[in-house]
Structure 1
């Protein structure tokens, strides 16, 4: 990538409570697919999906985090992060957040937004609208 070309900003929809966990220290997002190399270094908008992850609210890693809010945002951008890398799980790496048989998307510089920004996410990596990017900049 030429030095003048910055990685794109993309949105990543994550089911709750995993999206909330990213705002409180979860630094790995588990996916079944490898992120394309061109997105390494990209800014990600961490978006909470509308549907919760089945069984995740009883996951020991979630229960070990600070007290969860009574109501978790859904259908909203919660944080901004940098996608620092992606690798296949190997020998229990990325504990405690990395799952076996998954690609580990490494997140760095996670900055929760002061308030969730309602927005419709999508599957895979999605392109945020210019209006959403302006709102994110305004509240950061």
Structure 2
């Protein structure tokens, strides 16, 4: 019998430009997107090949990425997407990472991979191959799914 785990129905990939992908590994728990995401569950954090160079000058970003390598074109972590909500204003969305007039993806249980796994991503969310999932999970033997 084939299970959701075998088919990969339990996980998606999300491609995020650098330095934002590395910021998630460093504690950023709000990812900003232009639309609502109905998916909830585990996601691979894929650092895209494009760099948001102006973001490198943001003090919050600079502090988060200090001393870290900005890998590109690779899966660098895994997290659980637990919620997605529209911007509710600074009184309700207190994360310093939350941007105005976007939807906020709420990430929990973030795990950084010891070694990045080269991969191609896609937008907005994509289904990873079983081989890619296996290579990621091999690096996180204690991860509780």
Using the size of structure 2 for normalisation, the TM-score is 0.86
CA RMSD after TM alignment: 1.7
Could you say which residue in structure 2 is the equivalent of 1:80?
Answer: 78
Could you say which residue in structure 1 is the equivalent of 2:43?
Answer: 44
Question: What secondary structure sits across from 1:99 in the alignment?
Answer: coil
Using the size of structure 1 for normalisation, the TM-score is 0.89
Counterparts of 1:88-103 in structure 2, within 5 Å, are: 88-92=86-90, 93-103=93-103
Structure 1: stretches of 5+ with no match in the other structure: none
Counterparts of 1:105-124 in structure 2, within 5 Å, are: 105-124=105-124
What are the superposed Cα offsets for residues 42-64 of structure 1, whole Å, 9 maximum, x if unpaired? 10000000001141111121023
Could you say which residue in structure 1 is the equivalent of 2:134?
Answer: 134
Residue 94 of structure 1: how far off its partner (Å): 3.6
8 Å CA contact retained: 2:15, 2:123: yes
Structure 2: stretches of 5+ with no match in the other structure: 141-145
Going from structure 1 to structure 2, the CA distance change for 1:94 and 1:84 (only over 3 Å counts) comes to: farther
Residue 5 of structure 1: how far off its partner (Å): 6.8
Could you say which residue in structure 1 is the equivalent of 2:55?
Answer: 56
